[in-house]
Amino acid sequence: MVMLKNYFKIAVRNLVRHKGYTLINLVGLAVGIACCTLIMLFVQDELNFDKNHRQAANIYRLTIEIMENGRIDKAAVTSPPIAPELKRNFPEIKAVVRFSNNTRNLIRKESTGMYADQGFFVDSTVFRVFTFPLTVGNPRTALVEPHSIVLSQELAKQYFGNANPIGKVLEIELDSIYQVKVTGVLAAIPENSHIRPNYLIPFDLLKNNRNNWWAFGFHSYMLVDDHFNPEKFESKLPAFVKKYMPVPAGSPPPPSLHVQPLLNVHLDNDISSQISPPGDLKYIYLFSVLALFIILLACINFMNLATARSQNRSKEVGVRKVIGATRQQLIGQFLSESILLGVVSLVIAIGLVYFSLPAFNELSGKVIPGQLLKNGPVVVGLSMLTVVVGLAAGLYPAFFLSAFKPIQVLKGQLSTTTKGVVLRKGLVVLQFAISIGLIVGTAVVYNQMEYIQNKRLGFTKEQLISIPLNGQFGVAKANTIKNEFLRLPGVVAGTVANTMPGNRGWWRTIINLAQNPGNNAVGFVFETDFDYFSTMDIQLADGRAFDTKFPKDSTQAVLINEAMVKAFGWTSTKEALEKHLEYNDNGLDFKVVGVVKDFNFQTLHAKVEPAIFAIARNNVGYLVLRISPDQVAQTLSALQQKWNEFDDRHPFEYSFVDENLNNLYQTEMRLGKIFSVFTALAIFIACLGLFGLASFTTEQRTKEIGIRKVLGASVGGIVAMLSKDFLKLVLLANVIAWPLAWYGMNQWLQGFEYRTAISWWIFGLSAFIALLIALFTVSFHAIKAAISNPVNALRSE
Amino acid sequence: MIKIENLEKVYRTEEVETKALNKVSLEVNEGEFVAIMGPSGCGKSTLLNILGLLDEPDGGSFKFLGTEIAKFNERNRADLRKRNIGFVFQSFNLIDELTVFENVELPLIYLGVGASERKEKVEKVLEKMQIMHRRNHFPQQLSGGQQQRVAVARAVINNPKLILADEPTGNLDSANGNEVMELLTELNEAGTTVIMVTHSEHDARYAHRVIRLLDGEVVMENVREQFTV
Ligand SMILES: Nc1ncnc2c1ncn2[C@@H]1O[C@H](COP(=O)(O)OP(=O)(O)OP(=O)(O)O)[C@@H](O)[C@H]1O
Ligand SMILES: [Mg+2]
């Protein structure tokens, strides 16, 4: 105890006396701990998805697996009849609930109408399975009555202010307009829940596909009893599928059914068609490694500076030993010093975390609440981290310093223990290697993003706007509006389509060769009009585009893309022409009149998939216009005016296709930003260390510098002499970092079907940046020493 | 109290091998005051460091309080050291980060003495060294003589049987130097054995006996009576 007090006292005095040294260590460690804390919060958030549901451990999601174009595709979708039928067949299922895809609907109160996102058609059992507390309303009955709606607090506030919304009537536009009564208000749902509805409407309001066993566009969950065994349950499902979804001989097999625990949903990004975008374990690992790097850098600073400073402390160590301190006691003293530093850093780090949490949320796309100290695991983790960091940083200096023999120390004989110097240099190399690796990583990510933005997609994405039609018009009316729009001066071309790159509404199905269902391919269906290819600027590979000269084109012709030609195994585009295809259950067949060149309608992560194009006959999702680059604002307001003439019920909405496409790369953009922030921090901390180290070496060589100057050395010569050693280390760091960074980033790029090469200039750039920063850091001290009066230097001894 | 026979110490560097001590034999009895003299580089400090258990000999025998300790490891030596030996150095070797009081207190802390006893002892010795009024000062705030008095206070705080002083007056003017010599004499008269390295014939006069070294060997021993004739 007495000993500890004594350690503490001398530690505090040491820290106060050597302010520069203390500051460098505190800043480095605090930034390191703050980074780790943020990452810990991030990881904790990711790992705790859906734990807000009380029965989470007993909830399973139904998924399917299906063979498509020769590979297995997993998807988190089912058709509507499956879940209820499973419940009837298997007593271990206590309840099931189905969700539609999230929908966007116009909701009106009297004359004001707004589009609301994140709506779901759900079974009334939703409240039995999931824990979605209601602030008002009765969960047992809320969604039983078909003409009812449950709103989020924000929506309720939007429509009713602070008045009690229960029993009030809203008008919602689905396949037609329904009056629905508000029966409940959802309490706030944690951000880390994979389903976060804005409003819920009864499944019974859904008119299409309710009984279609093949309409795989719904998400089903089941609540099971405590004895449920997923493997055993899955083994009974093939028989179920066979019974309820028979397929004629020769046609492709039905999908197989599977179950997945709710708590695994968020981090399983192997499954497509999820209700919300899943997380990615890869990024969790990556961020954790980055945080570790940062803290490692800070620890290295501490170790290096402490050992470099050992000379100044050697007298103290020697005296203590002469007086009777044992090695253990000295180690204890140095460790308590570094742990004290760790604790002070922790306090600063917590401040930093509070301060930077909003920015971090912005960067990571999360909403992590700020009550850090109420977060048990984080508090425990942080305390442990502090001790570990204190130990890691202090252990080497402690052993190093305490190993001195007392007389050696008192004689000043430990100036150049080569082992210490080599280690110190090695650690500096490691620090810079990490920093350089991060510079390369950042450059590659940004380079790839640049590439994606500039890649020719096979259509022209600029100056293209997409106007969602939300199903309120049939094709005919959509075409009338389109023709009106085309008369406006700024509008160059226009078309309609069921889906647009960067938007929603994808329809993927099996396409058969007519009269030959065994010969098929899976592809995306584009339902458009005669102007699609010209408006989008899509090139023809063979045959012809749709043409109004051929009246049969609107009902009996299709075009396909080159990928579809390949999927069918045809050797040339010629071979595809005149083939007859079926893509619907209605038995109609379509003649292939043309083949278009592949264009990227999905993200550049994936190859262009097979696609088929037909003329739309019922509803279309989007009206697409190419506008002239001049006077965009005028054109848009003219469009709005015209729109209101046709439809004063629905607000005019539009988006730019190139922006929508960019939004597909949010994860990567985020990665780029996070990478650059971490890189900046890493470089900052490495430079702090270098700065401190340079100041020590320069200090040690003050006398030498003085003598050299007396003998006639120039300022430039001395700066060069002092900087040279450090620059050599940075160069070595480059050599180590390059191959590792190249390997890592090459792995990352493999995730893109379309990618840039890692070019040499990136390595040149990283070396240049690292050298420049190092030179700048080191030369500060070197110049200071070089321009000072030599007498000062000589007198200092 | 101390009996060494044929003690050897060799320093090896890459090029040269220095025999710092060559078959040194001597005996120091309890209560003696011994001065070691000789030209620079003759091995005085080396000898003193070995006598103080700060360094180990390369050969010969070393009996301390009747125990052969030439082969003791650092841990055992440290233990013997902190219980029996006090050190005074030419350059004082006070810890700059600690106050006068804390510097003097330190050996007691390492011996595990309780707080109130420590306070009492430290105050007593500071009183005796006439440095009590500076108890809360840091070493840099003191004159050389004052610093050496603090160092002596620290050396005697745990009532060692042996005090080793390596040129204790080397950094002091004659007035301060005499004061320190008086202190050592007082301690010796109270029963503590003192071994001191010095270059000063004047200081050597305080000792009972002078041992002269040359190139690592004892060349002459003379007692004060003969010497002062
Ligand atoms: N660590 C060492 N490595 C190599 N040689 C050493 C070492 N320490 C001392 N020596 C050598 O051993 C010899 C004796 O040194 P020592 O310090 O004992 O001399 P000294 O008599 O105390 O001299 P001074 O009066 O100058 O203090 C000298 O020749 C010295 O150069
Ligand atoms: Mg000496």
- Average pLDDT of the segment spanning A163-167: 92
- Average pLDDT of the segment spanning A500-511: 81
Kindly report, residue by residue over B191-211, the tens digit of the pLDDT. 999 999 999 999 999 999 999
Question: Within a domain: residue B59?
Answer: yes
pLDDT reading at B226 higher than 50? no
Report the pLDDT value the prediction gives residue A593, as an integer from 0 to 100.
Answer: 94
- Give the model's confidence band at B227: pLDDT under 50 very low, under 70 low, under 90 confident, else very high: very low
For residue B82, the chain A residues in CB contact (below 8 A) are 323-324
The C-alpha of B125 sits at a distance from chain A's nearest C-alpha, in angstroms, of 17
Sheet containing strand B33-37, edge to edge, reads B85-89, B162-166, B193-197, B33-37, B209-214, B217-223
The C-alpha of B203 sits at a distance from chain A's nearest C-alpha, in angstroms, of 24
Report the pLDDT value the prediction gives residue A796, as an integer from 0 to 100.
Answer: 42
Ligand number nearest to the C-alpha of B17: 1
Average predicted confidence (pLDDT) for chain B = 88
Percent of chain A with pLDDT strictly greater than 90: 36
Dig out the tokens for A358 from the structure: 């909003």
For residue A324, the chain B residues in CB contact (below 8 A) are 78, 81-83, 107, 110-111
Comparing alpha-carbon positions, the chain A residue that sits nearest to B80 is: A324
Dig out the tokens for B83 from the structure: 């219980």
**Ligand 1: does its nearest atom lie under 6 Å from the Cβ of B42?**
yes
Report the pLDDT value the prediction gives residue A411, as an integer from 0 to 100.
Answer: 66
pLDDT reading at A3 higher than 90? no
What is the bridge-based pairing of β-strands A508-513 and A516-528?
A: antiparallel
How wide is the angle at C-alpha A720 spanned by C-alphas A717 and A724, nearest 5°? Answer: 145
Contact assessment for residue A447 and residue A756, using Cβ atoms and an 8 Å cutoff: yes
Task: Mention every residue, 6+ apart, whose C-beta is less than 8 A from residue B142.
Answer: B100, B134, B150
- Average pLDDT of the segment spanning A216-237: 94
- Average pLDDT of the segment spanning A199-216: 89
What is the bridge-based pairing of β-strands A557-561 and A590-596?
A: parallel
Report the pLDDT value the prediction gives residue B122, as an integer from 0 to 100.
Answer: 94
Counting one residue from A and one from B, how many pairs have CB atoms under 8 Å apart? 64
Report the pLDDT value the prediction gives residue A219, as an integer from 0 to 100.
Answer: 95
* pTM score above 0.80: no
Question: Within a domain: residue B88?
Answer: yes
How wide is the angle at C-alpha B139 spanned by C-alphas B135 and B141, nearest 5°? Answer: 85
- Give the model's confidence band at B70: pLDDT under 50 very low, under 70 low, under 90 confident, else very high: confident
Q: How many CB atoms lie within 10 A of CB A184?
A: 25
- Which residue out of B8, B12, B21, B45 has the highest number of ligand 1 atoms within 8 Å of its CB and is therefore the one to mutate? B45
**Ligand 1: does its nearest atom lie under 6 Å from the Cβ of B177?**
no
Kindly report, residue by residue over A28-56, the tens digit of the pLDDT. 889 988 988 888 888 888 888 999 999 99
- Average pLDDT of the segment spanning A620-626: 90
Percent of chain A with pLDDT strictly greater than 70: 94
Question: Within a domain: residue B213?
Answer: yes
Give the C-alpha distances (Å, rounded to integers) separating A257 from A253, A509, A687.
Answer: 12, 18, 56
Taking the CA atoms of A145, A151, A153 and A158 in sequence, report the sign of the dihedral they define.
negative
**Ligand 1: does its nearest atom lie under 6 Å from the Cβ of B148?**
no
Element (H, E) at A119: strand A112-122
Domain, as residue range, for B181: 2-223
Report the pLDDT value the prediction gives residue B229, as an integer from 0 to 100.
Answer: 36
Q: How many CB atoms lie within 10 A of CB B130?
A: 13
- Give the model's confidence band at A797: pLDDT under 50 very low, under 70 low, under 90 confident, else very high: very low
Element (H, E) at A137: strand A134-137
Comparing alpha-carbon positions, the chain A residue that sits nearest to B92 is: A319
End-to-end CA distance of chain A: 39
Contact assessment for residue A217 and residue A101, using Cβ atoms and an 8 Å cutoff: yes
pLDDT reading at B159 higher than 50? yes
Question: Within a domain: residue B228?
Answer: no
Number of domains in chain B: 1
Nearest to A130 by CA among A47, A190, A210: A190
Kindly report, residue by residue over A300-338, the tens digit of the pLDDT. 888 888 777 766 677 788 888 888 888 888 888 888 888
Residue B13: CATH number of its domain: 3.40.50.300
Contact assessment for residue A220 and residue A122, using Cβ atoms and an 8 Å cutoff: no
Average predicted confidence (pLDDT) for chain A = 86
Question: Within a domain: residue B53?
Answer: yes
Kindly report, residue by residue over A382-397, the tens digit of the pLDDT. 888 888 888 877 887 7
Nearest to A272 by CA among A655, A606, A608, A621: A606
pLDDT reading at A419 higher than 70? no
Q: Higher confidence at residue A377 or residue A412?
A: A377
Kindly report, residue by residue over A727-749, the tens digit of the pLDDT. 888 899 999 999 999 998 998 88
Q: Which of B49, B136, B157, B158 to mutate to test the interface with A (most CBs of A within 10 A)?
A: B49
Binary contact (A315, B95; C-beta < 8 A): yes
pLDDT reading at A261 higher than 70? yes
Report the pLDDT value the prediction gives residue A670, as an integer from 0 to 100.
Answer: 81
Q: Which of A619-633, A666-680, B156-170 has the lowest mean pLDDT?
A: A666-680
For residue A326, the chain B residues in CB contact (below 8 A) are 75, 78, 110
- DSSP alpha helices (H): ranges in A18-151? 19-47, 82-89, 126-129
DSSP annotation of A130 reads S
Give the 3-state secondary structure of residue A591: strand
Distance CA A536, CA A27 (A): 54
- Average pLDDT of the segment spanning B35-49: 91
Kindly report, residue by residue over A264-308, the tens digit of the pLDDT. 999 887 888 888 888 888 888 888 888 888 888 888 888 888 777
Contact assessment for residue A186 and residue A152, using Cβ atoms and an 8 Å cutoff: yes
Question: Within a domain: residue B229?
Answer: no
pLDDT reading at B228 higher than 60? no
Ligand number nearest to the C-alpha of A405: 1
The C-alpha of B205 sits at a distance from chain A's nearest C-alpha, in angstroms, of 28
pLDDT reading at A352 higher than 70? yes
Q: Which of A3, A13, A410 sits opposite B97 (nearest CB)?
A: A13
Q: Which of B74, B77, B109, B152 to mutate to test the interface with A (most CBs of A within 10 A)?
A: B109
Distance CA B205, CA A520 (A): 115
The C-alpha of A46 sits at a distance from chain B's nearest C-alpha, in angstroms, of 48
Distance CA A539, CA A541 (A): 6
Nearest to A536 by CA among A464, A455, A608, A467: A464
For residue B107, the chain A residues in CB contact (below 8 A) are 323-324
Q: Which of A276-280, A522-526, A683-687 has the lowest mean pLDDT?
A: A276-280
* ipTM of this predicted structure: 0.79
